[in-house]
Structures are given as structure tokens and as C-alpha cells.
Amino acid sequence: MSRTAADEGRLVYVGNLTDEVRERDLGEMFDKYGKIVHIEIKVPPRPPNFAFIEYGDWRYVSDANSSAAAIVGKFFWWSRFGGVLLI
């Protein structure tokens, strides 16, 4: 994940993921909002897992945020902090 993506508001943080969630799952869930450049799942020593999704354009993050109600409760929750969408 590039620092530029975070600075430009193109980075989505997905938290509270189970061990079963794969990049493919996140891609299928989030690609409907726009072109995904990169997905990276982090597995810390202590759960839960989390991921970063990098979009090609900040407007895709905005679209994902406005459609959040449709996916709340599947793997994550949503909240807005500055230029980065926390899920």
C-alpha cells in the first residue's frame, strides 16, 4: 500500500476480519464500487485480521461509503475518519 493512496483518500481499511476471509472475498465484495489496484490482508500475532484495499480513484471510496449499509454485518463495520475510510 502506498502512502500516496492514503494521502489521496484511495485507501480503505477493513477491520475485524475472520481467518477465513481471503483477498478474493474482499475483491468480490468491493470491486462493485470501482477498480481495485491492490488488496493486502494483514495477519497480526493477535487477532483480528485486517486488510487494506487500494482503489484507483478516491471517488470509489466515496461510493463504497455511501453503499455501506448493504454490507454491514458481513465481515466489518464502517466509520469515516479524514481521507481514509475505516470499515
What does the CA dihedral 58, 64, 65, 71 come to, rounded to 10 degrees? -160
CATH of domain 3-86: 3.30.70.330
**Confidence class for position 66, pLDDT limits 50, 70, 90:** low
- pLDDT greater at residue 17 or residue 87: 17
Q: What is the pTM of this model?
A: 0.73
The residue-averaged pLDDT of 1-25 equals 81
Q: Where do the domains of the chain lie? A: 3-86
The per-residue pLDDT of the chain, averaged, comes to 75
Q: What is the pLDDT of residue 7?
A: 77
pLDDT for residue 87 is more than 70: no
Distance between CA 82 and CA 38 in Å, rounded? 21
- Which pLDDT does position 45 carry in this prediction? 95
CA 15/CA 48 separation, integer angstroms: 7
